[in-house]
Structure 1
Amino acid sequence: MAMELTVVTVPDCPNAPILGERLARVLTELDANERVSITRHTVTDARQAARWRMRGSPTLLVDWIDPFADDTLPIGLACRMYRDEHGRLEGAPSVTELRRVLGQVLADGGPARGGPTPVWADALGRAGAGRVAPVEGGLRAVHQQVLRGFAETGAARQPGELERVAALYGVSAEQVLAELHAADFLRLDDAGQISAAYPFSAAPTAHRVRIADGPEVFAMCAIDALGMAAMLCRDVRISSVDPVRGQVVTVEVAAAGQAAWAPGTSVVFAGQQAACEPCASGVVAAAQACCGHVNFFTAPATAQAWAETHPQVHGRLLNQHTALELGVAIFGPLLAASPGPTP
């Protein structure tokens, strides 16, 4: 599978050509031009910047992850500065830094930031592989149609409704859905019907999400719910229940990235069950491993109390900022990424 590079800029960004020249040089040095696809997106407002998690222009995403991310930088339309290997500020990543990051990803296929994926994020983000389905074989096009169906109607598409999109790639919807299920982009029940397409659940869950000017939907877990606003570029209102106290937690997430939590002490516990069998692709299905263990809590002490009574679940307490960032990083690109041919 090709590594996907996405360059996100504001209009007429003066440093975009510099980044482009450096990318071309590094990819040639690494003999990687045929193993990499590059797309470019121009953003013009705060909502688009939030969807791409653009911390200034230009931003480079490597397999949908920002390897140079600095969480102290605000998301927005400003110019972005990078420190090179000597600590100097530049308007684009240096050739040396690009070579280091891209070389590592090409060599081992690991997460663009390097290092192992934390256990609590393994299943959520498909072991660092992300939830943006490959273009090949119509996987991304069909996947995006499924996601849009949930966002428009609150329900899963029927396989027959996806045949027209799948046919553009010379395959059947049944075949594509089976491949998406095997790689854990979505889940099928025993009858071949869509039971989940992360972040959406076809069945009721503890996490209700009201989409602005749209339906109420159910999220598979707390992180999935937090990623919906960025994915859809629409405001959402999340309503969930603390599993210990039974108290309602609400989060108003704006498409532009701001979030208001109530109670203000609320947190997320992101857990994964220790023993789970992988899918046919070798990826552990999030629905099996962690979706039931990624929840909102009214306070850190409550989340910690829950974790202590569930020793079979390994995980981590996430503050509001980290939980939102994780949700957006996983789900923000799903509908922004180009699907290839269109119907």
Structure 2
Amino acid sequence: METMALTVLMVPGCPKADVLRERLAEAMAGQDDDVRVEWREVRDEAEAVRLGMHGSPTLLVNGADPFVREGEAPSLSCRVDPGGSAVPSVDRLRAVLAVVRGGRGRLAPEEGGQRAVQRAVLRAFATHGRPPTEEELAAAAAPYGVPARRVLAELSAADYVSLDDHGRIRAAYPFSPVPTAHRVRIAGGPEVWAMCAVDALGVAPMLGRDVEIRSADPVTGQAVTVAFRGGTAVWEPRSAVVLARTGRCAGPAVDACCPDLNFFAGPGSARRWADRHPEADVVVLGRDLAEALGRAVFGPLLGGPA
């Protein structure tokens, strides 16, 4: 498994850098040795813009800032969260690392045609709202001289997709072939279902298209919608949040993780759900962070050559 790269951008002598160091160490405690952390000083505005530094300290996860807020510009100034802190809490850090750690594996390796077949699967859902045909899979695998079904089995073994006992696709993250709680209407395309709330939020950045997500609070039943227009998301209600796991999932995400990652109409109902499910190690994510996780996890999946 490839290493997760964390980069901390900070001005020289940043008083909050040590706080972030301590919280990162706590958030990563007990995890596998698959995280590399680089601490980098930034000394001028041009470098801050180039590196994507949104105040000091800025944490980049695999080159992306999961805590950036809409309209936040690159800056050398001291970073301040909406809650008044310059450093994310340990729970927020754990949530980001857990979701991105799982999502980091969503981009299959190029070897053996795995990425080509994965992208054929995703494009079939995005274009037609269904799994790929045998012909579409064979065409994707043909340049690599390998049977498409063998490649699909390899993808399933690594949880890039998930197959049932009959070899049928039951999860093609972010897409589901069967109805879920998260329906996604793709502009100029089909209506599809997403595996979970974070997956739903990843469809727009993955495709570079407008989408509308329709879901519901599993506690109150209240409707929750998120409409992406030109890269900007409008949430209804504005109080809506996402509940995400803070630890690794044991087994395929379709079984072990996805059922717990849902939209809620507000933090109160999200916490009520968490209280009723003490076995689920979860944290409440606001809109900005939930969107950033969707981008970080799914944004790269269809980029570049197949």
The reply to whether TM is greater than 0.5 is yes
Q: How far, CA to CA, are the matches of 1:259 and 1:126 in structure 2?
A: 24
- Change over 3 Å in CA distance of 1:232–1:69 after alignment to 2: closer
Partner of 1:308: 275
What RMSD in Å do the two structures reach over aligned CA positions?
Answer: 3.3
Please name the residue that 1:96 is paired with. none
Instruction: Name the residue aligned to 2:62.
Output: 65
CA distance in structure 2 between the partners assigned to 1:285 and 1:261 by the alignment: 29
Contact 1:273 1:312 in 2 (8 A): no
Q: Write the mapping of 1:1-343 to structure 2, written as runs, cut at 5 A.
A: 57=50, 65-66=62-63, 71=68, 74=71, 120=95, 124-127=99-102, 129-254=104-229, 256-271=230-245, 277=250, 284-339=251-306
Matching residue's letter, 1:226? L
- When residues 309 and 214 of structure 1 are mapped into structure 2, their CA distance, relative to the original with a 3 A threshold, is same
Shift of 1:130: 3.7
Report sequence identity in percent. 47
Q: Secondary structure at the match of 2:146?
A: coil
Unaligned runs of 5+ in 2: 6-47, 54-59, 79-89
CA contact (8 A) 1:117 1:127 kept: no
> Secondary structure of 1:175's match?
helix
Please give the secondary structure, in 1, of the residue aligned with 2:165: coil
Tell me the amino acid that sits aligned with residue 71 of structure 1.
Answer: V
User: Which residue type is aligned with residue 229 of structure 1?
Assistant: A
C-alpha separation in 1, matches of 2:165 and 2:192: 22
User: Do the aligned partners of residues 338 and 270 (structure 1) sit closer, same or farther apart at CA in structure 2, a change above 3 Å counting?
Assistant: same
CA contact (8 A) 1:208 1:216 kept: yes
Q: 1:138 to 1:118 in 2, by over 3 A?
A: farther
Shift of 1:171: 0.8
Structure-2 separation of matches of 1:75 and 1:168: 44
- In structure 2, the partner of 1:34 is none
**Structure 2 CA distance, aligned partners of 1:125 and 1:332?**
12
* Change in 2 beyond 3 A, CA 1:233/1:56: farther
In the superposition, relative to structure 1, how do residues 231 and 305 fare at CA in structure 2: closer, same or farther (>3 Å)? same
Quick check: 2:94–2:247 contact (8 Å CA) kept in 1? no
**Shift in Å at residue 56 of structure 1?**
5.0
Contact 1:269 1:295 in 2 (8 A): yes
TM-score, with length taken from structure 2: 0.71
1:163–1:172 contact (8 Å) kept in structure 2: yes
Shift of 1:296: 0.5
Describe the superposition over 1:274-307 as per-residue Cα deviations: whole angstroms up to 9, x where unpaired.
8x64xxxxxx421122100000011100000010
Question: What is the CA–CA distance in structure 1 between the aligned matches of 2:207 and 2:278, rounded to whole Å?
Answer: 36
> Is the contact between residue 227 and residue 328 of structure 1 (CA under 8 Å) also seen in structure 2?
yes
3-state DSSP class of the match of 2:281? strand
- Kept in 2, the 8 Å contact 1:198–1:224? The answer is yes
2:68–2:292 Cα contact (<8 Å) kept: no
Does structure 2 conserve the Cα–Cα contact (< 8 Å) formed by 1:200 and 1:224?
A: yes
Structure 2 vs 1, CA of residues 174 and 75 (structure 1 numbering), >3 Å: closer, same or farther? farther
For residues 159-213 of structure 1, give each alpha carbon's deviation from its aligned partner in whole angstroms, at most 9, with x where no partner exists. 4421121120111111111111111111111111111110000010000000001
Code of the aligned partner of 1:259: A
Instruction: After TM superposition, give the deviation of residue 330 of structure 1 in Å.
Output: 0.5
Question: What is the CA–CA distance in structure 2 between the aligned matches of 1:68 and 1:236, rounded to whole Å?
Answer: 22
Alpha-carbon spacing, 1:304–1:223, altered in 2? closer, same or farther (3 Å): same
Q: Which deviations, in whole Å up to 9, do the C-alpha atoms of 1:217-268 show, x marking residues without a partner? A: 00000000011111111100000011011111011012x4311111111111
1:107 maps to none
Closer, same or farther: CA 162–82 of 1 in aligned 2, 3 Å: farther
Cα distance in 2 for partners of 1:229, 1:178 equals 27
Cα distance, 1:327 vs structure 2 = 0.6
- Answer yes or no: is the 8 Å Cα contact 1:123–1:289 preserved in 2: no
Q: CA deviation at 1:124?
A: 4.1
Please give the alpha-carbon distance, in whole angstroms, between the structure 2 residues aligned to 1:82 and 1:130. Answer: 32
Q: How many residues are paired up?
A: 247
TM-score, normalising length: structure 1: 0.64
| Residue type of the alignment partner of 1:230 | P
Supply the distance in 2 between the matched residues of 1:251 and 1:73 (Cα, whole angstroms): 15
SS for the counterpart of 2:151 is: helix
CA contact (8 A) 2:210 2:231 kept: no
